[in-house]
Amino acid sequence: MKKETPFFPDWMACPACDRLHLKIPLQRGQVALCRRCGTRLRGRCFYGPDLPLALCLAALIAWIIAISLPFISIGISGQSQTISLPSAVLTLFQHRMPSLALFVGLLLILAPLCAILLLIYLLFFLRQNRKPPFYRFFLKLFAHARFWDMTDVYLVSIFVVLVKAVHMAEIHLAYGFWAFCLQVFFLQFAFAAMPVRDIWENLSQPPLPPTPLPGKEARKAGLAPCHTCGRLHTLATPSCTRCASPMHARKPQSLNRTLALTLTALILYIPANLYPIMIVENFGQSLSSTILGGVILLWQDKAFLIASVVFFASVFIPMAKLLALFYLIICVRFRTIACPRDQTALYRLTEFIGKWSMVDVFVVATLAAMVQMGRIATIEPGIAATAFAGMVVITLFAAETFDPRLLWDRPSQENDAHEPACL
> Which amino acid would we find at residue 282?
N
Domain positions in the chain: 250-410
What are the DSSP calls for 35-76, one per residue?
Answer: TTT--EEEE--TTTTHHHHHHHHHHHHHHHHHHHS--EEEEE
**How confident is the model at residue 185, as a pLDDT?**
95
Question: What is the four-CA torsion angle of 245, 250, 255, 257, rounded to 10 degrees?
Answer: -10
- CATH code reported for the domain at 250-410: 1.20.140
Residue 143 is predicted with a pLDDT of 92
Predicted pLDDT at 358:
86
Query: What is the model's pLDDT at position 170?
Result: 80
Q: What is the pLDDT of residue 376?
A: 67
What pLDDT shows up at residue 337? 59
pLDDT, tens only, 402-413: 999 888 886 544
User: What stretches in the chain show pLDDT beneath 70?
Assistant: 1-7, 77-78, 166-168, 205-215, 282-284, 336-338, 373-377, 410-423
Q: How far apart, in whole angstroms, are the C-alpha atoms of residue 282 and residue 285?
A: 5
Residue 113's pLDDT is 96
pTM of the model: 0.85
Backbone angles phi, psi at 310, to 5 degrees: -65, -40
User: What is residue 347's predicted lDDT score, i.e. its pLDDT?
Assistant: 92
Amino acid letter, 360: D
* pLDDT of 167: 66
Residues 100, 364: Cα–Cα separation, whole Å: 9
pLDDT at 206: 54
Cβ(278)–Cβ(129) below 8 Å: no
pLDDT in tens, 260-296: 999 999 999 999 988 888 877 766 677 777 888 878 8
Q: Give the per-residue pLDDT at 230.
A: 85
